[in-house]
Amino acid sequence: MKKILGFVIVFIALVGGLYLSSTQNSDDKKNQEISLALSSKVKTFDPAKAFDDDSLLLISQSLEPLYQYHYLKRPYEVIPALAEGMPIISDGGRVYTIKIKKGIKYHSKTSFFKVQKEVTAHDFVMQIKRMAFKGTESLGTWLFSGKIKGFNEFTRKAGDKLENLYSMKIPGVSVIDDYTLRIELLNPEPNLLFFLSMNFVSPVPEEVVRHYKNDLSEVLIGTGPYYLKKFNDEKYTFFRNDDFRKEMYPSTGDRYANTQKLLSSTNKVVPFIDSVVFKVFQSDEDKWDAFMEKDLDILSVPKKYLDIVSNNDNNFQKLKNKNNFVVKYFSTISSRWLSFNMRDKVLGQNLKLRQAIANAINFDEYISILTNNTNLRANSIYNPSIPGYEPSKELPYKYDLEKAKRLMKESGVENLNLTYSTRGTQTIYELEATLLKKYLAKIGIDLKIEVLSFSEFLKKGRAGELQFFTDNWIYDYPDAENNIQLLISKNIPGINKSGYSSQAVDKFYDKLAKTLDLDQRVSIMKKVEQEVNNDLHWIMLMYDSSYILHSKKIKNFRKSFFIRNYVKFIEKY
């Protein structure tokens, strides 16, 4: 009788515990949705073409490349994603053999796959071919152009005939077996692991490409922690992928990760959130209001609200308490500078004039007015986030009005009129232009302001049609080579908007692209910087930073401009 009674008690306790657990999970489910903001409708889901911030953030929840960045370590560390481990590198750095994890399934709850389809090495080959194929119009072609054996020949010979995409091969990308990929390079490429960590190289099955005739603009079929359930121009809704490969929250991190208590979820299986909703907002005001109304969980503070957040006065403290959110500050991987058109007959041929302008800029006031002192004064052409950056580096110019006037006199130029073109039509860009006009007026230069939309700015800039302008670069991967490409002759016209051409810098860039040793790479970086500072076609201004607001219910958030698949690490309670 005692045994029966004991069994009943244990049974009741067990059932009660299961009921309680079920109830708790049910309650938790009500809060397991996270809402994030987009600034515009996503142009494309195609991993070969998506390259703006909103598109990359969105598709990164579904698509996965071979490698990813460690969420909690800086400097950035590349670790496997769909790859089984780090590559085996042979032939002096020219051959990469990569094992792919077995059992990785594409989302089965999409409109295409009704049964589970496994990822194989063939899918990576197809995606790299799509990047080389003219008909795709990939924005990632530059990653492998001139680097993978046969890549450029494929582009030329395949043309835009779709059948050639399927039938022709790239000799440097091959399948050893279903789970082994081989990449052969023309020369050693020190940044290949960074390239293989980008969404451009997410696997795409040939049957998907054939079905949609290589138009994947509205097709998002991946292997990641979330799959796209539904979308329209205003909202994109993702649900948890129940078949997601087993991945654990990181168990190690840097000093920041430890001091900010970002390791409390260690060894838990990700993802934590059940659904992710991306909402499109037409204005910064709409984003701000939505966050304050608790319709967004995380907000990157728009520039116009920086003074409110950074001042952190009593009113803002009350707002934080009322709306139950916290403020986080993060440096970015973005640098900002003033640029001269070196092909301009006046600016390009007069170093003294450029030096005069550089010394006429009141950098402290500029940063104070435009960012409320939230950005850091630049001290190098390189960003602090990359290997080789020197914190103690000093630029060969600073705000010195008397020196600027003397240099202006030595330049021999009088009654000069320059045209400054804005990067957009927002108030912040017009304010920037007004400041620059004031600074240059003090040395006798009349600055005419040309207000351009951002698309107009890019078009005219890449055509070499801007005279004087502010430029900005967000690194695609954490290496100086990504920044130096803006300085080389072969990118004129193009991303080298200043039209700067230096045989020395071109040679250094070519050498850097083939140098694997870090110490040697840093030495080359220093030589490039010395050339650039001597020629002075850039006036470095500042390193961008950002303030993030997020609900106190959000746990584990860490901002990174390389790590866009961060949602899988977020907990909400």
Domain segments of the chain as ranges:
34-255+562-572, 332-545
Radius of gyration of the chain (CA): 26
Judge: domain 332-545, CATH 3.10.105.10.
Answer: yes
Residue 186 burial (C-beta neighbours within 10 Å; 0-12, 13-18, 19+): middle
pLDDT of residue 111: 67
Residue pair 432/470 in contact by the 8 Å Cβ criterion: yes
Residue pair 193/516 in contact by the 8 Å Cβ criterion: no
List per-residue pLDDT tens for the chain, 573 residues long.
Answer: 444 444 444 444 444 444 443 333 333 444 489 999 999 999 999 999 999 999 999 999 999 999 999 999 998 999 999 999 999 999 999 999 999 999 999 998 876 777 789 999 999 999 999 999 999 999 999 999 999 999 999 999 999 999 999 999 999 999 999 999 999 999 999 999 999 999 999 999 999 999 999 999 999 999 999 999 999 999 999 999 999 999 999 999 999 999 999 999 999 999 999 999 999 999 999 999 999 999 999 999 998 898 899 888 889 999 999 999 999 999 888 999 999 999 999 999 999 999 999 999 999 999 999 988 889 999 999 999 888 999 999 999 999 999 999 999 999 999 999 999 999 998 889 999 999 999 999 999 999 999 999 999 999 999 999 999 999 999 999 999 999 999 999 999 999 999 999 999 999 999 998 899 999 999 999 999 999 999 999 999 999 989 999 999 999 999 988 999 999 999 998
Task: Show Cβ contacts of residue 304 under 8 Å, excluding neighbours closer than 6 positions.
Answer: 284, 427, 428
Residue 418 CA from chain centroid, whole number: 33
- Cα torsion for 425, 426, 427, 432, to the nearest 10°? -70
Closest CA to 55 of 64, 65, 45, 66: 45
The CATH fold assigned to 34-255+562-572 is D-Maltodextrin-Binding Protein; domain 2 (3.40.190)
Distances, alpha carbon 470 to alpha carbons 279, 326, 339, 420, 546, in Å = 30, 32, 6, 8, 19
CA 356, CA 416: separation in Å to the nearest integer?
A: 13
Does a cis peptide bond (omega within 30 degrees of 0) precede residue 188? no
CA 493, CA 500: separation in Å to the nearest integer?
A: 10
Residue pair 191/481 in contact by the 8 Å Cβ criterion: yes
Name the token pair of 238.
């993702």
* H/E stretch holding 403: helix 401-411
CA 172, CA 169: separation in Å to the nearest integer?
A: 9
pLDDT of residue 311: 83
pLDDT of residue 382: 96
DSSP 157-178: HHTT-HHHHHH---TTEEEEET
Helices (H) and strands (E) in the chain, counts: 19, 21
pLDDT of residue 183: 98
pLDDT of residue 109: 80
Closest CA to 185 of 510, 508, 514: 514
pLDDT of residue 19: 40
